[in-house]
């Protein structure tokens, strides 16, 4: 079944619970789970390309929208990494069985690490696309951090749309409590990191830092010299699908 469905989470702020939108297709191999970036959702080009490919290859795949994003209920300003991590984990527990491969884009690359640390032996692999762990630390200057620390909302120019990109104080403060690049990341699964060297949002050197911090010995970094942050061109998506295919085939169904 590939239509949008909803998983209800207990929520003290909502009488009927938090409804998280997801799409799922059954198939063989580890379940491929796509984690969108900041202010993105499961209707994005990379997510839909992965899902369509999974259907064509009879692979299990799960897409989702975090609360306050896409088709899920909630308010975006209430979103934090902790909240969205817990939503992903709850959905995985309810809707999947066996090993999973997490595919995280930008902020989703940070979330895939946070989720992976909670999944234990269910985690079969990670694929990061311009993964952006710790961006609350390196992505803001001292003045912006001071504004956020004071509880204010930061508004920045959005290169992908007409409305400014907001960073809410609660999101930033939560992110600062979940920094990963300052110490070893205790994950031992295969990891593939795709990153464009023309990325103006997340420096490609973050991929190298992440590779160094991961405890796993099976880590590969692929740099796309002319690739931008989105890595959503036809050739970029083909690279993503080849990478996911090769990694997932190493894991027994």
Q: Any catalytic annotation for residue 229?
A: yes
Q: How far apart are CA 220 and CA 111, in angstroms?
A: 19
**What is the Cα–Cα distance from 229 to 204, expressed in whole angstroms?**
9
Query: Pick the catalytic residue: 40, 67, 72, 106?
Result: 106
Residue in 65, 134, 174, 199 annotated catalytic: 199
Catalytic residue status for 228: no
Q: For residues 56-92, b (16+ Cβ closer than 10 Å) or e, as one string? A: ebebbbbbbbbbbbbbbbbeeeebbbebbbbbbebbb
Among the listed residues 227, 222, 225, the one whose alpha carbon sits nearest the alpha carbon of residue 242: 222
Of 7, 168, 195, 229, the active-site residue reads 229
Instruction: Say whether 232 is catalytic.
Output: no
Q: Determine the Cα–Cα distance for residues 195 and 106; give it in Å rounded to an integer.
A: 10
Tokens of 122: 């269910």
> Which residues are designated catalytic?
106, 199, 229
């Amino acid at each position: 079944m590939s239509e949008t469905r909803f998983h209800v989470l207990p929520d003290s702020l909502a009488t009927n619970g938090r409804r998280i939108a997801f799409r799922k297709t059954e198939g063989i191999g580890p379940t491929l789970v796509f984690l969108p970036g900041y202010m993105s959702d499961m209707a994005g080009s990379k997510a839909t390309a992965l899902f369509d490919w999974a259907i064509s290859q009879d692979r299990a795949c799960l897409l989702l929208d975090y609360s306050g994003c896409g088709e899920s209920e909630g308010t975006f300003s209430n979103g934090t990494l902790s909240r969205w991590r817990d939503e992903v984990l709850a959905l995985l527990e309810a809707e999947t069985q066996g090993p999973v491969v997490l595919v995280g884009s930008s902020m989703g690359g940070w979330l895939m690490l946070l989720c992976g640390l909670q999944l234990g032996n269910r985690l079969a692999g990670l694929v990061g696309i311009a993964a952006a762990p710790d961006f609350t630390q390196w992505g803001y200057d001292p003045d912006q951090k001071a504004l956020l620390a004071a509880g204010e909302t930061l508004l920045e120019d959005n290169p992908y749309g007409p409305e400014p990109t907001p960073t809410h104080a609660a999101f930033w403060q939560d992110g600062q409590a979940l920094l990963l690049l300052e110490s070893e990341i205790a994950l031992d699964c295969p990891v593939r990191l795709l990153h464009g060297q023309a990325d103006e949002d997340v420096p490609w050197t973050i991929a190298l830092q992440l590779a160094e911090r991961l405890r796993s010995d099976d880590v590969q970094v692929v740099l796309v010299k002319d690739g931008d942050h989105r890595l959503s061109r036809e050739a970029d998506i083909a690279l993503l699908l080849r990478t996911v295919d090769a990694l997932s085939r190493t894991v027994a169904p």
